Each structure stands twice: as C-alpha cells, then as structure tokens.
Amino acid sequence: MKVSEAISRLRNLIKVVREDAFITDRFIYSMIMKVSKPLLRKEALQVNIYKNSTLFKEIHYFELVDVGSVESKCFNFESHCVIKRSKEKLPKITNIDLGPIIRYVGSLDMSVALTRTSLLEYKNKKKMSTFKYNKTHYYWIADDYLYIPEVDWEACRLEAIFEESFDDGRCSDTDDEDSPQCKPEQEREMPIPDYMLDDIEQKVFTEIVTANKILSINPINDRQTDILKNII
C-alpha cells in the first residue's frame, strides 16, 4: 500500500467520527510509523521481516572517507591501520534487542557483503594468529557513523529499515520521473507488511481519537462502531 493510501484510509475513518477534525497528513504518517515500530521489532525477532523486501530501503551510494587512527580508535592495532568511515551519520534505523535492523552493508555491486561486529570484537579478532586467513570483511557502528576496516572503497551500499524519510540521492536528472526512487514520499510503498496494516490502522485511529478528544457528531457504520467499542 502506498503512503498516501494509508493516510487517506485513516483520514476517512476520522472524518466519519468527526468530519471537521483537523489532522495533518504528516501527523497521521508519524503516528503510523510510531505504532508500527514495536510490531516491526517483534517481526524482526522472529526473522520474518528480513524476507520482506518492501520494508527495506536502500542507500545505493553511501560515501566513505578515510579517518585517522585516533578517531577510528585503531591506534593499538598493528602500525598499519586502514579505516573508512561514512561521511555522514546514518539515518535513524529501527532497533531491536539484537541491534539495528540492517539487511546488507557491502560493496556497491553487492559482490562483498560485510559482517557486523563491534570495535572491541574486531580488535580481539585482529590479535588472533589465524586472522590473516580470515576472508570475512567487517563493519561496526559508533556514534551513528559506519566504520569499515581494510577496504579501499569510495562508498558502500546499505539496506535497512529506517525510522525516518530522507533523500538518498538516487534520483538523478537522467532518471525517469516514474522511477520508484524519484517518486514523492507519499507515492512510495509503506515500509510495513500489508498483513500488519489493519491492526496498525486500528491502533492509530484509537490514539488519534482519544489523544485529540475527537467526539463523534456523525452517524458511523459497523466498521467504525467495532473500532470505537475498543476505546469507549
């Protein structure tokens, strides 16, 4: 379902209860995302969420820069220390107990996938005599920046479930205006599985109606009656 469709469905529900209620699209969308977070976290813990490509947003070109040994905290590695850091901070990523919901970090052509670790874990791995035979590439996140050791990349690719909208820079002057990356936010697909939308819709409707003290002055149909029974 498109963002605009999800907003419209909720707006129509609210209007049935109170036609003159003033609620902005931005507020409705923010409530949808707020309510969806705990449900998405639950799905992620069950690993179901990683199979649903519509939930993940890609950053096709996330620029990297060289960082010094002090900033990268690799000064107590061996003398040779090559660390890349994302030029910008990561957009806010949905978190669960196991960490941020990230499906892919790696090379632009997706030929090299990186494994998430921490700075401490990476230091311990480097100390092992067998590390020189280790073909795995790693990354870690610190202070909302992405760090990648032992690569000579100008940029990396990233797939995650982000909590906020952002311009990922994928729409260029040469792209067709109908391309998914060029569509306005409201015309993009909701980052929520369709089977969750009914529950989320009911919870959002309940929160908006109760928080804004929207009292019914209109006749309501069976669907609204069923929903209202849960909040009265």
Q: Could you tell me if 225 and 200 lie in one domain?
A: yes
Q: Could you tell me if 82 and 100 lie in one domain?
A: yes
Residues found in the chain: 232
Q: Could you tell me if 34 and 74 lie in one domain?
A: no
On whether residue 174 sits in a domain, the answer given is: no
Winning range, highest mean pLDDT, from 7-16, 35-44, 114-123: 114-123
Q: Out of 32-36, 94-98, 99-103, which region has the weakest mean confidence (pLDDT)? A: 94-98
Instruction: Identify the CA nearest to 14 among candidates 231, 222, 206.
Output: 206
Q: How far, in Å, CA of 14 to CA of 208, rounded? A: 8
Instruction: Decide which of 160, 177, 197 is a domain's last residue.
Output: 160
On whether residue 140 sits in a domain, the answer given is: yes
Segments forming the whole domain that contains residue 31: 3-51+186-229
Q: Could you tell me if 62 and 40 lie in one domain?
A: no
On whether residue 178 sits in a domain, the answer given is: no
At 25-66, the pLDDT tens digits run 888 888 888 888 888 777 776 666 777 777 788 899 999 999
Q: Could you tell me if 27 and 7 lie in one domain?
A: yes
Report pLDDT for 217.
46
Report pLDDT for 79.
52
On whether residue 127 sits in a domain, the answer given is: yes
On whether residue 172 sits in a domain, the answer given is: no
On whether residue 113 sits in a domain, the answer given is: yes
At 169-219, the pLDDT tens digits run 555 444 445 545 555 666 777 777 778 888 888 888 888 877 765 555 444
Instruction: Decide which of 112, 143, 160 is a domain's last residue.
Output: 160
Report pLDDT for 92.
87
Phi, psi of 145 (to 5 degrees): -105, 150
Question: What percent of the chain stands above pLDDT 70?
Answer: 72
Report pLDDT for 214.
57
Please name the amino acid found at residue 132.
Answer: K
Higher-scoring residue by pLDDT: 132, 143: 143
Report pLDDT for 103.
92
**What's the first-to-final CA gap in the chain, in angstroms?**
29
Give CA separation, 51 vs 2, 112, 214, in Å: 19, 20, 39
Instruction: Decide which of 125, 160, 195 is a domain's last residue.
Output: 160
Structure tokens at 134: 């280790």
Q: Could you tell me if 140 and 83 lie in one domain?
A: yes
On whether residue 169 sits in a domain, the answer given is: no
On whether residue 149 sits in a domain, the answer given is: yes
Report pLDDT for 46.
67
Report pLDDT for 71.
56
Q: Could you tell me if 140 and 78 lie in one domain?
A: yes
Report pLDDT for 30.
87
Report pLDDT for 73.
58
Beta strand pairing status for 95-96 and 99-100? antiparallel
Q: Could you tell me if 65 and 37 lie in one domain?
A: no
Q: Could you tell me if 46 and 63 lie in one domain?
A: no
| Coil, helix or strand at residue 3 | helix
The distance of Cα 52 from the centroid of its chain, to the nearest Å, equals 13
Report pLDDT for 232.
42
Q: Could you tell me if 65 and 154 lie in one domain?
A: yes
Structure tokens at 13: 């529900």
Transcribe 20-51 into DSSP letters.
T----HHHHHHHHHHHHHHHHHHHHHTTGGGG
Q: Could you tell me if 22 and 68 lie in one domain?
A: no
Structural domain total, the chain:
2
Q: Any residues with CB less than 8 A from the CB of 213 and at least 6 apart, and which?
A: none
Instruction: Decide if 108 contacts 58 (C-beta within 8 A).
Output: no
Q: Could you tell me if 26 and 66 lie in one domain?
A: no
Tell the burial category of 192 from Cβ atoms under 10 Å away from its Cβ (0-12, 13-18, 19+): buried
Give CA separation, 119 vs 85, 130, 146, 216, in Å: 13, 18, 11, 56
